[in-house]
Structure 1
Amino acid sequence: MAKRRGEINPLGNTFGSHEAEKRDAKSRIPNLFKQLSSQIEISGEDVTGYLKQHFGVESIGKTSHWQLASGQQASFTEMVLDHTQLKNDTEVNFDINGREQALLNEESVADLDSLTYQQFHPAVARYKNGKIEILDGSRRRAWFLFHKHDGYRVLVTRDELALDDAKNLAKQLQSAKEHNLFEIGQQCLTMQKHNPTLKQADLAKLHNCSQAKICRALKAASVDIRLIQLYPIAGELSIADYDLLFKVMSRYQDTLNDEIIRIQELLAVQLDGVEVHEHKEIISQTLKASLSSERPNKPPVVTSTLRHFESKDMFARKKESNRAVSFEFGRIKKDVLKEIESSVQAILAQHYRD
């Protein structure tokens, strides 16, 4: 019997019917697109113009098939996004892309100003959780967003990419601008989080650099990112600059937020009307002055002995300030230290639940 118009689908309230409808609809999409493309061509309309008008897509280019590190293949299709689509529909995952987006600003991407006229190399991305995730091309993305420019070209795949394939692809494609020390250090920390057995020598091999550079990068990664953001172009910072930032961070441990705000206010005046290429020297001098100024008054640390020992090298003491309490032990047997640690963990577990 034919279904009457307006009649409610009897599967609507059946368990699993919604998922079945979704699967059925998804299976029909490729054929519908083929039919749509064929009918547009027969009608004599321009496919690109039609897609832009009805689907908000600037243009779709030809599909390319790429071989991945795992041996699998993926199909990438070129798209051109306008500013609104770029802002709302794209994202960057640091663990994959490796570029710290918080350190990108107009000055740091000024070397890409040729994008005003032509984007010679398209970015590369994948569809992930309803978003276009940029694997390579996050600096180009930032430039287009800062300048509110349309025409961001990107090769996008809908194929499922394994995590390692996505990372390798991003690494192979990334060639325009070397990652700064902070970014390399953050990448190393991420790798060690997923694989705690990785040593600095292993990380050096993975990054194809010296172990000394990995050591410097890990130190740079420990610097508060707000201090790095004081500089217009993070990529210009040397290990000496990171050493300076590390010293500032170490000195103002308890009042770092206040010190950063003070320096930002000071720089807003000092850098007004000054050319960007002169900013770095002024900022560094301001930070050095911050270190050479009188140390702000800090609450005293009270040290008390927990137990006296016959040996002068052995000690057990407590240090207490208004914000923290620490216990220090010297020359104590390892099994005794393990008992102390177990006792502390048991007490914390008793009073604080996960």
Structure 2
Amino acid sequence: MSAKRITIGRTFSQTPVETEDSSNPVQTFVLYTGKRADFRFERVAAKEIEEKTFVDTDTNGRDQAGLTPESLKDIIRTIRLQQFFPAIGIRRGEQVEILDGSRRRAAALHCKTGLNILVTDADISAEEARKLAQDIQTAREHSLREIGMRLLALKAGGLSQKEIAQSQGLSPAKVTRALQAASVPGELLALFPNHAELTHPDYKALLIACEQLQESGQTLDTLIDGLAGKVDDVRASENLADDEIKNAILRYVRAESAALLKRSVKEKAVTTSLWSFADKDRYARKKSRGRSFSYEFNRQSKELQDELDRVIAATLKKHLAD
């Protein structure tokens, strides 16, 4: 007698739970708290997906900015014909929050086709939703940046990197790498059509470039503006594989940032005294270099510091608030 073949991958029960409406069977998931939640099948029309569904990155964990047509091409190729697995969602008022399936959602939006979702009306907390999303997300491993974005939320909540590593079952080195990846500005990552190709050394190189530019008084906008035409040409090439496109853009980023740093060295900082003090260790001055400027104070009273904080905050609010 042959042994029963083991099913590999994501599966759903083939025996629906009995309901009053047998045409719409129920799939039941058990949450980490022990609570059971019933999910029913829904089909959202193409023109209603953007309005009726949404993704909370804190819960879903997938970097939505990285869901480009290039990164979704495996799903785009098939979703026009069939959707092999439904997305998983929770009813939130008039909308459905997608716990699992944000890549399928993005592909459906791109292809202008409908989206199949298993939806629950159960009262599920944010933490239960996060845990459930982690349990059912098996389609594609989250990138280092996506892991880092989730860890940044924990860090912002007051946890140290050591505590984050312990709570998430990750090594301290993995936490450091993920946080570095998540710290790279989104504007710079937008240059790359497929974020899945980026490795930890790539993220680290991009982060170092950003930090050096900031320290030298150069802006990220200046770097990106200088790269625009070159990057467009690389992305438009049909003869380059995804990893070759990534490597070409990285070379341009390194070259352009090096040129900006070299230029900033020639632009010496101009120091302007704001007040004269008899004590040479006390000062109030402004430093300017290109488009960058800073104010520096030393050995000033706490009352003066507090007053400066209030004035700066009020001035920023006056000129920058929406």
CA distance in 1: counterparts of 2:80 and 2:213, whole angstroms: 43
Which of 135, 154, 161 does residue 124 from structure 2 map onto?
Answer: 161
Identify the residue that residue 267 of structure 1 maps to in structure 2: 231
CA distance in 1: counterparts of 2:283 and 2:83, whole angstroms: 65
Q: How many residues align?
A: 287
Question: 2:100 corresponds to which letter in structure 1?
Answer: D
Q: Aligned with 1:265: secondary structure?
A: helix
Matched, 1:222 2:183: yes
Which of 325, 328, 334 does residue 294 from structure 2 map onto?
Answer: 325
Which of 114, 117, 120 does residue 84 from structure 2 map onto?
Answer: 120
Q: Where does structure 2 lack aligned partners over 5 or more consecutive residues?
A: 1-19
Identify the residue that residue 205 of structure 2 maps to in structure 1: 244
Identify the residue that residue 293 of structure 1 maps to in structure 2: 259
Cα pair distance change 1:319/1:177, threshold 3 Å: farther
CA distance in 2: counterparts of 1:241 and 1:307, whole angstroms: 48
Matched, 1:84 2:53: no
Q: Aligned with 1:293: secondary structure?
A: helix
Shift of 1:309: 6.6
Identify the residue that residue 52 of structure 1 maps to in structure 2: none
Range with bigger deviation, 171-180 or 319-328: 319-328
Cα pair distance change 1:316/1:175, threshold 3 Å: farther
CA distance in 2: counterparts of 1:317 and 1:212, whole angstroms: 41
Q: Aligned with 2:224: secondary structure?
A: helix
Identify the residue that residue 148 of structure 1 maps to in structure 2: 112
Shift of 1:114: 3.9
Which of 137, 144, 147 does residue 101 from structure 2 map onto?
Answer: 137
Which of 76, 98, 112 does residue 61 from structure 2 map onto?
Answer: 98
Identify the residue that residue 18 of structure 1 maps to in structure 2: none
Cα pair distance change 1:352/1:244, threshold 3 Å: closer
Shift of 1:340: 5.6
Shift of 1:106: 1.1
| TM-score (normalizing by structure 2) | 0.77
Question: 2:245 corresponds to which letter in structure 1?
Answer: H
Question: 2:101 corresponds to which letter in structure 1?
Answer: G
Partner deviation per Cα, 1:220-247 (whole Å, 9 max, x = no partner): 2221112112112112211211122123
Shift of 1:142: 1.2
Identify the residue that residue 66 of structure 1 maps to in structure 2: 29
Cα pair distance change 1:162/1:350, threshold 3 Å: closer
Identify the residue that residue 258 of structure 1 maps to in structure 2: 222
Partner deviation per Cα, 1:178-218 (whole Å, 9 max, x = no partner): 2222222221222233x22x010121233322111211222
Shift of 1:135: 0.6
Contact 1:64–1:76, Cα closer than 8 Å, also in 2:
yes
Range with bigger deviation, 60-69 or 112-121: 112-121
Contact 1:308–1:316, Cα closer than 8 Å, also in 2:
no
Cα pair distance change 1:86/1:348, threshold 3 Å: closer
Identify the residue that residue 14 of structure 1 maps to in structure 2: none
